[in-house]
Amino acid sequence: MEIDNPGLVRYWFVFDLTEHRPPPRPEPEGGGFVMDCTPTLYGLLWRGAGVTGYDEQDCLRLLEAYAGEPLPAVERALRYPAIDPAWRGRLGNPAWRGVWYPSAELTGPVIGPALSRR
């Protein structure tokens, strides 16, 4: 997939989530199960994240604004990752400026600055 604006770059980030793993879930009393749908930084980033922006720092700012909290340390940043055309998961548009995995920008590109400072 080509990027709409030649001034944009696509990144795939992998983060050190050691300090962000969720605590073990307690066993419910009397059997059954407990649903916890609270989004966590670990839940958001455990597979990695795909972002398109003006540069690496812009991509990290966009991702931090989406996460709503400071990001953990980056373990790996891959510039222009290949995107498999057979991908079957939810994926935003990697040609637009914004977070495309996990899919965040589904209605159009981010216009203007990211809301967080990095």
Residue 15's pLDDT is: 95
In a domain, residue 84? The reply is yes
80 sits in the region (left: phi over 0; alpha: psi -120 to 50; else beta) called left
- Alpha carbons 71 and 93: distance in angstroms, whole number: 22
pLDDT class of 118 with cuts at 50, 70, 90: very low
The more confidently predicted of residues 96 and 111 is 96
Check whether 117 has a pLDDT greater than 50. Answer: no
- Mean pLDDT over each residue of the chain, to the nearest integer: 81
In a domain, residue 115? The reply is no
Residue 40 belongs to domain spanning: 9-18+29-101
pLDDT tens-digit map of 13-66: 999 988 877 766 667 677 666 666 556 788 888 889 999 999 999 999 999 999
In a domain, residue 62? The reply is yes
The more confidently predicted of residues 73 and 39 is 73
Query: Considering just the CA atoms, what is the radius of gyration of the chain in Å?
Result: 16
Environment class of 33 (CB within 10 Å of its CB; exposed 0-12, middle 13-18, buried 19+): exposed
Q: What is the mean pLDDT of residues 89-111?
A: 81
Q: What is the count of structural domains for the chain?
A: 1
pLDDT > 70: what percent of the chain? 75
In a domain, residue 112? The reply is no
In a domain, residue 106? The reply is no
